[in-house]
Amino acid sequence: MGIPAILAAAVRQISWGEVANVALKYGPDIARKIKERLQAQQVAESEAAVTADHLTDRIRELESALVRQGEVIEQQGKTILLLEEIGKTLQARVNVFMGLTALSLAVSTLLCLLLLRN
């Protein structure tokens, strides 16, 4: 037994005047509630579409940021290798300078001893 059959059985025992009064009394509220639900549904659907578009745009932004980050990391790797080379070169120069300083100290000490003997 469906809703139309229940309404038909209920209407048989009620006069049409009473049915009209009930329809006039509750009809606008029911119509308003149905309209509000339909509008809320449409708003929810449009918000879902906007959210999906926003998420798609955000995914594109994040993918491009990831590509840029990969390029930056690659460039930093190259810079690190270059700095390591420069560090090795500087360490070699410091070692040469230390050797020359030790040699200079030895020569200076030898000359001082020679001067003190004379």
Residue that the structure tokens 């990969």 belong to: 70
Query: Is 44 in contact with 51 (CB distance < 8 Å)?
Result: no
Q: Domain limits of the chain? A: 3-117
* pTM to 2 decimal places: 0.47
Per-residue pLDDT of the chain (118 residues; tens, 9 = 90+): 566 776 676 667 776 677 667 767 777 777 787 778 877 777 777 777 778 888 888 899 999 999 999 999 999 999 999 999 999 999 999 999 999 999 999 999 999 999 998 7
Which token pair is 82? 């270059």
State the amino acid at position 28 in one-letter form: P
DSSP state of 118: -
Residue 83, H or E segment: helix 16-117
* Local structure of residue 1 (DSSP, 8 states): -
